[in-house]
């Protein structure tokens, strides 16, 4: 495979002849064939081929061919040749999401984030954003949003992409049969789509339960019985109850058992941290039945005594991405300190965000670098294990990681659509850029615009 970049130009040639500059033809090792197959995303056309003495790497395409191929834009893009007779421009990288409106703010609160993605690598590739209803499979086209150089979204009909990054933000939309069938359409066409769907908390537990990394997963019971919950409280002294499909810390309870004092339950309600005490276990069960009808759709998770600062527990968000070599790497780490009286370390419930170096140095002193290095290695192994046992492609993961007071590393949650709150910390701005660049590079890998060293 020969791969390089070129500058696309439009011409008015009525013979539909495509002109390659001599320098570009040499870079692509083109043969002296009279025609060439030109591909962009799902579209292809056989066209006459000639060469130009224009200096530099230029490709001149007739306007009618540009229209037939639905080329998203002119200017610089990547170009590759597999055998000297077939040329592919692109890649066309699709960001699958939900459309909030058809105004200049098409993705609602996510518009800024979608812009960040589309700006990454847009000078070398064709980036588009679209929803499940925007694809016309019969025509092999997408009525997509593209980002202009001025930062404005416009609609344009373009080819079905070479690779799809799934950022559908709604669990409800993603769980619908029509969405699952839509995503399967890409699989049937051998178009890589990664980050298939949201994880439920029980999914991750089940994916790892036969893996060697399972020692880093706290005991977790889906739909626990009252007997099992009481048993876990006796064993661990405190337990978290988490909604199986929850996110952002909503609906979480922390239940603590103090022999001789009773049971204490912490949760958040209407923006306030609540603490209740019950003298016996039946009081806890009655409260849960009143609020939720019991513990259906909940997971009981073993409580872990985490490292603390100012008597407030600390955990870590690891943002993981696949890179250009199809390897997992740590793109960013944020350390989160729980607010006083809060069940979780989420920022919205009073938590504070720090760099991991700040926290680990305060807790472990001179051993901070060793602990951080060990934690990174463990989290990479956890990402590899989830991917190994998961039936779909993954390219990004978010982990909630804890270190207990004996320095053991624990994985509380894994998210296939990780939030990006940690990037609000000033020290993580560069890591935010790295995370998006890794996503872009991985898209190049999956679309075969990078050498594929492994499958």
Domain CATH code at residue 424: 3.30.470.20
CA distance 18 to 20: 7
Q: Concatenate the DSSP letters of all residues of 221-282 into one string.
A: EES--HHHHHHHHHHHSEEEEEETT--TTTT-EEEEEETTTEEEEEEEETTEEEEEEESSHH
The answer to whether residues 115 and 242 belong to one domain is no
21 part of a folded domain = yes
Distances in whole angstroms, Cα of residue 123 to Cα of each of 6, 74, 91, 119, 198: 11, 10, 11, 8, 31
Backbone phi and psi for residue 119, each to the nearest 5 degrees, phi listed first = -75, -20
What does the pLDDT read at residue 453?
A: 53
Residue 454: predicted pLDDT: 47
Q: Is residue 422 a part of any domain in this protein?
A: yes
Q: Residue 24: enclosing H or E segment and its boundaries? A: helix 22-27
Q: d(Cα 217, Cα 224) in Å, to the nearest integer?
A: 17
Backbone angles phi, psi at 451, to 5 degrees: -65, 130
Residue finishing a domain among 177, 194, 211: 194
Same domain for 146 and 176, yes or no, is yes
Cα–Cα distance for residue pair 114/120, rounded to 1 Å: 10
Both 336 and 439 in a single domain? Answer: yes
Same domain (yes/no): 279, 397: no
Residue pair 181/175 in contact (Cβ under 8 Å)? The answer is: no
Same domain, 81 and 181: no
Q: Which CATH number characterizes residue 104's domain?
A: 3.40.50
Residue 214: inside a domain, yes or no?
A: no
Here the CATH number for the domain that contains residue 26 is: 2.40.40.20
Domain final residue, candidates 40, 72, 89? 89
Q: What is the pLDDT of residue 455?
A: 44
Question: Are 98 and 76 found together in one domain?
Answer: no
For every one of its 455 residues, what pLDDT tens digit does the chain have, with 9 covering 90 and above? 899 999 999 999 888 999 999 999 999 999 778 899 999 999 999 999 999 999 999 999 999 999 999 999 999 999 999 888 899 999 999 999 998 877 778 999 899 999 999 999 888 999 999 999 999 999 999 999 999 988 999 999 999 999 999 999 888 899 888 899 999 999 999 999 999 999 987 889 899 999 999 999 999 998 999 999 999 999 999 999 988 776 555 788 999 999 989 999 998 887 788 889 999 999 999 988 887 766 778 899 999 999 998 888 999 999 999 999 999 999 999 998 876 656 665 555 556 888 899 999 999 999 999 999 999 999 999 999 999 999 999 999 999 999 999 999 999 999 999 988 888 888 888 999 999 999 999 999 999 998 655 44
Residue with tokens 């504070």: 352
- If asked whether residues 109 and 55 sit together in one domain, one would say no
Separation between Cα atoms, residue 38 and residue 46, nearest integer Å: 6
Q: Which of 415, 408, 370, 416 is nearest to 392 (CA)?
A: 416
Residue 211 in domain: no
pLDDT at 56 (0 to 100): 96
In a domain, 123, yes or no: yes
Q: What is the pLDDT of residue 39?
A: 97
pLDDT at 374 (0 to 100): 97
Residue labelled with tokens 């969405």: 179
* Position 455 in a domain: no
Report yes or no on 202 lying in a domain: no
Answer whether 342's CB lies under 8 Å from 314's CB. Answer: no
Verify that 334 and 410 share a domain, yes or no: yes
Shared-domain flag, residues 350 and 439: yes
- Write the burial class of residue 234 (CB in 10 Å: 0-12 exposed, 13-18 middle, 19+ buried): exposed
What pTM, to 2 d.p., does this model score?
0.90
Q: Range of 375's domain? A: 305-446
- Domains in the chain: how many in total? 4
Q: Identify whether residues 123 and 179 lie together within a single domain.
A: yes
User: Same domain for 184 and 136?
Assistant: yes
Scan for tokens 């001789």, then name that residue. Answer: 260
Q: How far is CA 127 from the centre of its chain?
A: 16
Phi, psi values for residue 113, rounded to 5°: -65, -45
Residue 187 lies in a domain: yes
Give the model's pLDDT for residue 344.
65
Are 276 and 319 contained in the same domain? no
Domain boundary residue, one of 284, 302, 320: 302
CB atoms within 10 A of CB 404: 14
């Amino acid at each position: 495979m020969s791969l390089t970049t070129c500058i696309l130009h439009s011409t008015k040639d009525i013979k539909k002849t495509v002109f390659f500059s001599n320098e570009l033809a040499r870079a692509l090792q083109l043969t002296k064939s009279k025609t060439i197959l030109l591909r962009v995303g799902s579209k292809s056309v056989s066209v006459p081929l000639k060469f130009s003495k224009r200096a530099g790497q230029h490709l001149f395409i007739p306007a009618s061919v540009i229209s037939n191929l639905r080329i998203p834009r002119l200017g610089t893009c990547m170009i590759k040749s597999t055998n000297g007779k077939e040329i592919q421009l692109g890649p066309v990288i699709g960001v699958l999401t939900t459309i909030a409106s058809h105004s200049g703010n098409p993705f609602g609160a996510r518009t800024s984030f979608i812009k960040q993605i589309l700006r990454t690598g847009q000078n070398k590739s064709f980036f588009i954003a679209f929803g499940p209803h925007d694809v016309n499979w019969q025509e092999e086209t997408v009525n997509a949003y593209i980002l202009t150089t001025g930062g404005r979204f416009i609609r344009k009909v373009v080819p079905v992409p070479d690779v799809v990054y799934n950022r559908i933000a709604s669990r409800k939309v993603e769980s619908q049969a029509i969405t699952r069938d839509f995503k399967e359409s890409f699989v049937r066409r051998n178009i890589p789509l990664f980050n298939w769907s949201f994880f439920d908390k029980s999914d991750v537990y089940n994916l790892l339960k036969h893996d060697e990394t399972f020692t880093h997963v706290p005991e977790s019971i889906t739909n626990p019985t009252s007997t099992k919950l009481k048993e876990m409280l006796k064993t661990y002294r405190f337990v978290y109850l988490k909604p199986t499909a929850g996110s952002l810390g909503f609906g979480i309870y922390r239940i603590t058992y103090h022999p001789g004092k009773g049971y204490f339950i912490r949760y958040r309600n209407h923006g306030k941290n609540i603490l209740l005490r019950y003298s016996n276990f039946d009081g806890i069960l009655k409260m849960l039945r009143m609020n939720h009808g019991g513990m259906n759709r909940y997971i009981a998770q073993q409580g872990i005594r985490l490292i603390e600062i100012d008597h407030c527990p600390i955990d870590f968000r690891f943002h993981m991405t696949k890179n250009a070599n199809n390897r997992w790497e740590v793109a960013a780490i944020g350390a989160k300190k729980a607010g006083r009286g809060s069940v979780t370390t989420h920022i919205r419930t009073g938590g504070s965000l720090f760099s991991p170096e700040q926290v680990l140095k305060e807790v472990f002193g001179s051993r901070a670098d060793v602990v951080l290095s060990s934690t990174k290695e463990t989290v990479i192994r956890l990402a590899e294990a989830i991917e190994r046992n998961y039936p779909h492609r993954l390219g990004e993961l978010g982990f909630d990681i804890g270190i207990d007071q004996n320095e053991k590393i624990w994985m509380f949650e894994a998210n296939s659509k990780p939030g990006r709150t940690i990037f609000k910390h000033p020290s993580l701005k560069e890591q935010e850029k790295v995370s998006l660049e890794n996503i872009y590079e991985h898209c190049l890998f999956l679309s075969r615009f990078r050498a594929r060293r492994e499958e």
